Structure 1
């Protein structure tokens, strides 16, 4: 039925191979067309898959079936084996839509943004590799396959962030992203190996039967039972270790430091990394392993909750003080990804024998739905930022202001995306954000109100950004030699498409209700297999909407005018706080101190001394001893037959005397 899904993986892989090997011999437009057409076909196949899966199949007892059209053993290792295949369930099919849509928009947008850039063909080859890696990650049938593509995503991000390799900041940013995420991935790998050793499986088949290409394979509880019998801490430990890997990839505090610097890459790459691919990989990992978290490690989910809460608040506070528009959006992404983590973390164990009750389903659904909505409006924001940078040749808000007169399409699409992320009704962020807050309130009023406050901060800093770019005082000196202008159609059409999705989804979910969207995700993890109904909590929705509007009004009052006396007064009153937030609360400096002064000096240096003087010294001594021994008996092997005869006769006489004495 879903046999064609193999081409979703093969087409971007083929595009990468062709562009990687022959791209430099092609014209720019030909290379771009190959990459874009490949992604266009992938997008069509993804939408066909989603339509057929969600609307063309009947649910069994209210639960969507999980299909594995392809799966084969790659490396057999006794009871364990590494498989490669394709798994289709509600969250993987939803991710197909997200990844293919945003990636296609980025491919089209890059025609205009990267026009004339050296390495244009190489850029499209890397985009194809990145997209293929993320598609392989979300379609993985087992956790080891996920890890393989997880690392490919890391390599792809390294290549794209460092695309402008002649520039030292780009090289430093790419190395920083690679090293930090590899450090986190070490924990992910240890968690995978721990899980595989005790469970005897890497499979994702946690929650019932799956429909294979040639029949139905039942889920065997014995493996998990064995792990539980070996110790109740085994599965929670493995899951927490995997979460550290996900926290690194999704830039959770304190492993977030690579993401703001990743802005050194081309702006379309920033949209791809932040909106639909790399940074949501950690959220997807938690969602994929969600039945195990709920059933075997519910207490450990508090780690996910509080890491998410701390990260969301920290990133929102830093975003309020940034002047680089891409860094504002980068910290916004960190905060919004943390919202998704919190939503998954506040999902509680169900009652009456079910894995999930309605509340737990709410948290899970809200987190995954926010992943979908955030991908669309954040991609629009980043691509809009690219249009602005393309027009003024700078990332700094001080060199902008008044751009609404020159860039009407970018202005409208950017404004709509700001309203969406602020959580205003009839925009897509409203439904997902409010359901996250509702789930948080049911988990803990403290967490709920903290997240409400962070949502208010989000509305504030996004409209601070909006007014700083499109209103305020126009910097005529910066525009004297180059009048800003609207971007070409190749750049504005993706903005319009993403805006239409943002508004369309927002209007539908606001009017029709959240339950229809959530049902697809909730039914996947509902062991009871029963339908349920979730409605808006009108009190929470009204409260958060009022708070968001007040935050927007506050940002309007402070930043809309040509003069900003209140902002200047606040800066003068709290200069140290502002500088600390601008410097990201000195997290980079702290990491530099920890790595250089503590790890390198107090840990690495003694280990290096021990390695050089003890380990190397021991083997050097053995080599010296063997060499000296060889030198001492070297004269015994002179090649002189008379000398050998003397030694032979002497030895024979000595042995004869010894035997006679005995």
Structure 2
């Protein structure tokens, strides 16, 4: 495949020259809240909201200015200062303002603003609210640095900042051992992916002598095929860590230990999409390696199936949505793995997913808010008549997620499945078939979630909350419901707007190249049939869920025994056990071996040498008696030995 034609990069002028405010505003908000501490408890949350909203306004103004420019001039850079200048390595602290980065800016700050507003109500009675908003602002600032940087080192800076902020937010409830464990797990598994990204950056610097996007992408054709594949795979490893993709997906569901707004912002709309952004941004590299793209697509297919299968078995509402996120990010990774035929499709689904999944998480948070933080769907039921706004907005997000015709997911996810079927004979059937099956499973577990939560008998009536009180479900305050309504509107209309006339694909052309329309390959499904097949599988999944859950009473307690597929799914398909067997235990054994070698080998040699010297010194010390007659006798004995030796030599 020929390299992508890259647009000329001009200097940012006008409103774009203020782009540094995009990340400085939330970073400044975080700094003020951290420094002032408890003195900002009463008003700190509003400072957090205002800084992110102001960042969104700046991003919107830059976006509007950019849309008024000719397509060839929509990619601009703003150099702030030289950050690193060591020998031949020169790295600017600069921003790249192009359609791809601006799209992410609007997603991060727009959805982030709604989640910040929602959090003012959700965290209203939490004593750590000010600290929560400080960490949330820090996350938004780091995510903006990640997508705005004009080189791989700045991307890595934002990448690590996002990792730190997510660690703090996942472990926000510091008194809960489960939250601390989940935060450490997320941090460590992300470090594995970060090693891959770092190696890719080292390879680029070693072979090209630069890490600037413009220079790397213009000269990518100079790299040998083996190096290109290695860079592509290492970038993918980084993406797997941040986006919760196989084999590094196990941390994301456990991250639900953080407050629900964290799940909505980090694990639905922003951080987990960083891997998709990375591969899309590096598209000139992936365009040069079919092998690299194939590996990316395979990882996406495996992950979307894993997430969909496990999502069918959980009763925890947040974990069902978490595995749904794992699966949907798998669709995006599959799309960008299809190359020019899928880069824009992956970004379209990323945006629509940001609306409906953030709305679903906020809806789940509203349910938890009404149910004293109970996350067990078996203890819900019949909440529709008690929480009308939450129920309706959640249902719209549910329909968008399962791909109900003419809602967001229908336009974005079905386009990916159609493109997957057109990748070739065996690949088309594997990729398209797996994606279609996952669509049916998605409809099953989401319909099950909706039926168990909002319909049927009110199972909570005979239960006590963890604090011993009766449950009294009620609608959430306006600060929580208004963001949910706005996200529900996006869930309904975003897909149609973004795909109408390939609006977003044309907008992203300067960053991703022209969208290549798929052509039906021999032996795969025709374009006209694919949407009907997908809708049919989704309808079948929803019907099965209704027959399994909707027509039977839901037990309040989990059965003592379940079938082995359900047991395997509830154990995350043994992902933790596999990681423990393949990596943790061998790592611990290797560490123990090194410690034993150090204790008995290195330390033994050093200590043994010291003991020999100490012992010999003790023996020699006994010869120093201080008596002259002893020294004289020693001298006489030595002289006699010398004489005997000389005589022996003489007469030998």
Q: Do these two structures clear the TM 0.5 threshold for a shared fold by scoring above it?
A: yes
**Structure 2-normalised TM-score?**
0.85
What does residue 642 of structure 2 align with? none
Distance across 2 between alignment mates of 1:623 and 1:16: 55
What does residue 152 of structure 2 align with? 143
Distance across 1 between alignment mates of 2:419 and 2:609: 66
The structure-2 alpha-carbon separation of the partners of 1:195 and 1:492, relative to structure 1 and needing over 3 Å to count, comes to same
What does residue 126 of structure 1 align with? 135
**Does structure 1 residue 465 correspond to structure 2 residue 449?**
yes
Paired residues of 1:250 and 1:279 also in contact (CA < 8 A): yes
Distance across 1 between alignment mates of 2:106 and 2:547: 39
What does residue 610 of structure 1 align with? 597
Distance across 2 between alignment mates of 1:518 and 1:466: 33
Partner of 2:81: helix, strand, or coil? strand
| Superposition deviation, residue 577 in structure 1 | 1.4
Distance across 2 between alignment mates of 1:154 and 1:176: 12
| Superposition deviation, residue 425 in structure 1 | 2.1
**Does structure 1 residue 11 correspond to structure 2 residue 25?**
yes
What does residue 368 of structure 1 align with? 347
What does residue 215 of structure 1 align with? none
Paired residues of 2:29 and 2:48 also in contact (CA < 8 A): yes
Moved more, 372-381 or 537-546: 537-546
What does residue 34 of structure 2 align with? 20
Q: Which of the residues 244, 267, 273 maps onto 1:251? A: 244
Distance across 1 between alignment mates of 2:215 and 2:441: 38
| Superposition deviation, residue 615 in structure 1 | 3.4
The structure-2 alpha-carbon separation of the partners of 1:623 and 1:47, relative to structure 1 and needing over 3 Å to count, comes to farther
Distance across 1 between alignment mates of 2:126 and 2:120: 10
**Does structure 1 residue 563 correspond to structure 2 residue 547?**
no
| Superposition deviation, residue 497 in structure 1 | 0.9
Q: Which runs of 5+ in 1 are unaligned?
A: 209-218, 348-359, 635-662
Distance across 1 between alignment mates of 2:25 and 2:348: 27
Partner of 1:81: helix, strand, or coil? strand
Q: Which of the residues 402, 427, 442 maps onto 2:382? A: 402
Paired residues of 1:207 and 1:525 also in contact (CA < 8 A): no
Paired residues of 1:23 and 1:31 also in contact (CA < 8 A): no
Partner of 1:205: helix, strand, or coil? helix
Distance across 1 between alignment mates of 2:300 and 2:71: 33
The structure-2 alpha-carbon separation of the partners of 1:140 and 1:168, relative to structure 1 and needing over 3 Å to count, comes to same
Paired residues of 1:381 and 1:417 also in contact (CA < 8 A): yes
Question: CA RMSD of the aligned region, Å?
Answer: 2.8
Query: Aligned runs of 1:559-598 on 2, under 5 Å?
Result: 559-561=549-551, 563=553, 575-598=563-586
Distance across 2 between alignment mates of 1:300 and 1:571: 45
Query: Aligned runs of 1:65-144 on 2, under 5 Å?
Result: 65-144=74-153
Distance across 2 between alignment mates of 1:626 and 1:146: 56
Partner of 1:70: helix, strand, or coil? strand
Question: Could you give the per-residue CA deviations for residues 568-624 of structure 1, whole angstroms, max 9, x where no partner exists?
Answer: 9x99996121111112122222323334533212x2221222233333445556777
The structure-2 alpha-carbon separation of the partners of 1:517 and 1:227, relative to structure 1 and needing over 3 Å to count, comes to closer
| Superposition deviation, residue 556 in structure 1 | 2.5
Query: Aligned runs of 1:408-427 on 2, under 5 Å?
Result: 408-427=388-407
Paired residues of 1:274 and 1:330 also in contact (CA < 8 A): yes
Question: Could you give the per-residue CA deviations for residues 490-513 of structure 1, whole angstroms, max 9, x where no partner exists?
Answer: 111110011112222234357x34
Query: Aligned runs of 1:435-446 on 2, under 5 Å?
Result: 435-443=415-423, 444-446=428-430
What does residue 650 of structure 2 align with? none
Partner of 1:178: helix, strand, or coil? helix
| Superposition deviation, residue 160 in structure 1 | 0.5
Query: Aligned runs of 1:5-404 on 2, under 5 Å?
Result: 5-28=19-42, 30-53=43-66, 55-60=67-72, 65-205=74-214, 219=218, 221=219, 224=220, 226-228=222-224, 232-295=225-288, 297-347=289-339, 360=340, 362-393=341-372, 394-404=374-384
Paired residues of 2:121 and 2:477 also in contact (CA < 8 A): yes
| Superposition deviation, residue 72 in structure 1 | 3.0
The structure-2 alpha-carbon separation of the partners of 1:622 and 1:369, relative to structure 1 and needing over 3 Å to count, comes to farther
Distance across 1 between alignment mates of 2:462 and 2:234: 53
| Superposition deviation, residue 282 in structure 1 | 1.0
Distance across 1 between alignment mates of 2:619 and 2:95: 67
| Superposition deviation, residue 120 in structure 1 | 1.2
Partner of 1:87: helix, strand, or coil? strand
Paired residues of 1:392 and 1:399 also in contact (CA < 8 A): no
Distance across 2 between alignment mates of 1:531 and 1:576: 44
Distance across 1 between alignment mates of 2:369 and 2:560: 33
Partner of 1:403: helix, strand, or coil? coil
The structure-2 alpha-carbon separation of the partners of 1:620 and 1:233, relative to structure 1 and needing over 3 Å to count, comes to farther
| Superposition deviation, residue 71 in structure 1 | 4.4
Q: Which runs of 5+ in 2 are unaligned?
A: 1-12, 520-525, 622-652
The structure-2 alpha-carbon separation of the partners of 1:534 and 1:306, relative to structure 1 and needing over 3 Å to count, comes to closer
Q: Which has the larger radius of gyration?
A: 2
| Superposition deviation, residue 564 in structure 1 | 5.9
Distance across 2 between alignment mates of 1:575 and 1:336: 26
Paired residues of 1:268 and 1:382 also in contact (CA < 8 A): yes
**Does structure 1 residue 553 correspond to structure 2 residue 543?**
yes
What does residue 212 of structure 1 align with? none
Distance across 2 between alignment mates of 1:10 and 1:632: 72
Distance across 2 between alignment mates of 1:439 and 1:629: 81
The structure-2 alpha-carbon separation of the partners of 1:460 and 1:77, relative to structure 1 and needing over 3 Å to count, comes to same
Distance across 2 between alignment mates of 1:192 and 1:629: 56
Paired residues of 1:425 and 1:506 also in contact (CA < 8 A): no
The structure-2 alpha-carbon separation of the partners of 1:286 and 1:532, relative to structure 1 and needing over 3 Å to count, comes to closer
| Superposition deviation, residue 109 in structure 1 | 0.8
What does residue 449 of structure 1 align with? 433
| Superposition deviation, residue 537 in structure 1 | 3.9
Distance across 1 between alignment mates of 2:190 and 2:482: 34
Question: Could you give the per-residue CA deviations for residues 426-474 of structure 1, whole angstroms, max 9, x where no partner exists?
Answer: 2111111011011101112221111111111111111111111001221
What does residue 355 of structure 1 align with? none
The structure-2 alpha-carbon separation of the partners of 1:623 and 1:251, relative to structure 1 and needing over 3 Å to count, comes to farther
Distance across 2 between alignment mates of 1:617 and 1:436: 62
Q: Which of the residues 493, 501, 513 maps onto 1:504? A: 493
| Superposition deviation, residue 546 in structure 1 | 2.8
